[in-house]
Amino acid sequence: MIQQTGGVSSSSVQEAKKALGQRLREVRKDSGLTARALAGLAGWHESKCSRIENGRVTPSDADIRAWALHCQAQDQVADLIATARAIEGMYVEWRRLEGAGLKRLQQGMKPLFESTRRIRCYQSWVVPGLLQTADYTTAVLNTVVALRGAPNDVRDAVASRMERQNVLHHGECQFAMVVEEWVLRTVIGDASVMAGQLGHLIGVASLPAVSLGIVPTGTPRGAGWPVESFTMFDTNRVHVELVSAQLSVTQPREIAEYERTFTELARLAVYGKAARALITAAIDALE
């Protein structure tokens, strides 16, 4: 996989729309109705059924209720609506997520982190949030405010993220983190902020619950090409970071693909003494 912000979002969401459309097509066929007949009964333009069944649009709650009513499938309404709403929630623009404030976004993630027993994170952009220092997080969120016009509650948001890091020291969760070496060489904030962050990485990597792997620059790449940053929560959910949005993946087949990708990237990474050497070299380069 190569980092493709548009490809990831369109692939996952579009496949989910097509799957829902196929399911609705089967409901219609089981009822004996043609697409034209169903559209006529529902008072729709005759092309609407085709657009829904081919995954070009996601049906509204009202569309699904009408579909089920005329196809004598009212018992499937709740499940179909839940599926459609999940699709709508898969791809959420950062502006919408951050619109209520960065602090609320950080706090909203806390229950998910606390209920997860195994977190696997790959970062090709920045240091993983759970491993960030307060100064580094401040620099990252200040950039978010500047680029995306998010509400400037950076101080409170940083405090929330630092509080979330308690899961590294308490609880039963295990953390596997893999980052590209160039993340260590990308100066966020200034040299002082970056030096503090890199020093912190050496310390946090020694925690019993944390495994930190670094993929060295220049490593021959096979299946483990650089990809978009993502975090896996057990085997139930994957959050993918795109330039414009966050993508939530919940379909088992897609989660399995991210699991295979993480395994390959983790195989390319170095750990322990070799990882510390890369971090130390990045600190020396700052000087």
Region of 245 please: left (phi>0), alpha (psi -120 to 50) or beta.
Answer: beta
| pLDDT tens, residue by residue, 119-173 | 999 999 999 999 999 999 999 888 877 766 667 778 888 888 898 888 898 878 9
Percent share of the chain, pLDDT over 70:
85
**CATH code of the domain made up of 5-89:** 1.10.260.40
- Which pLDDT does position 261 carry in this prediction? 94
Neighbours of 202 (CB within 10 A): 14
Q: Mean pLDDT, the chain, as a whole number?
A: 85
In this prediction the pTM is 0.68
**What residue spans define the domains of the chain?**
5-89, 99-286
Question: Selecting from 1.10.10, 3.30.450, 3.30.870, 3.40.390, what CATH number does the domain 99-286 have?
Answer: 3.30.870
